[in-house]
Amino acid sequence: MAIGMNDLKTGLTIEYNNSIWRVIEFQHVKPGKGAAFVRSKLKNLRTGAVNEVTFRPGDKFEQAEITTRPMSYLYAENGGRVFMDTETYDQINISDDHLQNALKFMLEGMEVKITMYGSEVLGAELPSSVTLKVTETQPGIKGATATGSGKPATVETGATITVPDFVNEGDTIIVNTEDGSYKGRA
């Protein structure tokens, strides 16, 4: 479906310059002199790059049909990860390049949403927070509060996050998958 600059809205995915882009933000500009235009920030769903693009009134582009499928992460294999579609039980191997930041917080058996354009995998969307076990950190300090500076801790997936001083090895914590921050004890 062809759309123009007036149809842009946040979250919309479009085909532009031979790639797939998601609109992060946009602003309609009506200068005192000349035609109106739209300034937008677009994120390339294949590379992750963010570009600022200006659209003029005559610009047309196609809306990209992006599908999101619920899948279960099974195991790692040959530089990729194997996922099973929870509806059809089909298994697919997804390259680590497509999973980027999701790898830091994925555990076997975890439900994730795989974003696809046709049969091409664009990425994985994790739940907003995950529960992980701390495998390595410095010993806790008695009387420490959550407002301290924090210390580094390694969780079971291998990611390193900053946790409050009272968190010990073996503790189960909740981690925000968007920014990798500590949210609390589980």
Give the DSSP letter string of 61-87: EEEP-EEEEEEEEEEEETTEEEEEETT
In this prediction, residue 5 has a pLDDT band, given cuts at 50, 70 and 90, of: confident
pLDDT value at position 47? 82
- Listed in order, strand segments (DSSP E) in the chain are 2-4, 13-16, 19-29, 37-44, 50-55, 60-63, 66-77, 80-85, 91-95, 111-117, 120-125, 129-137, 151-155, 160-163, 172-176, 182-185
Amino acid, res. 5? M
Q: Any residues with CB less than 8 A from the CB of 34 and at least 6 apart, and which? A: none
Mean pLDDT of the chain: 88
Distance separating alpha carbons of residues 169 and 167, to the nearest angstrom: 7
The model's pLDDT over 105-146, given as tens digits with 9 standing for 90+, comes to 999 999 999 989 988 888 888 999 999 999 999 886 666 555
The model's pLDDT over 38-56, given as tens digits with 9 standing for 90+, comes to 999 999 988 888 999 999 9
pLDDT value at position 99? 83
Let me know: does 39 contact 26? Beta carbons within 8 Å: yes
pLDDT value at position 145? 59
pLDDT value at position 141? 66
The model's pLDDT over 151-182, given as tens digits with 9 standing for 90+, comes to 899 999 999 999 988 888 999 999 998 888 99
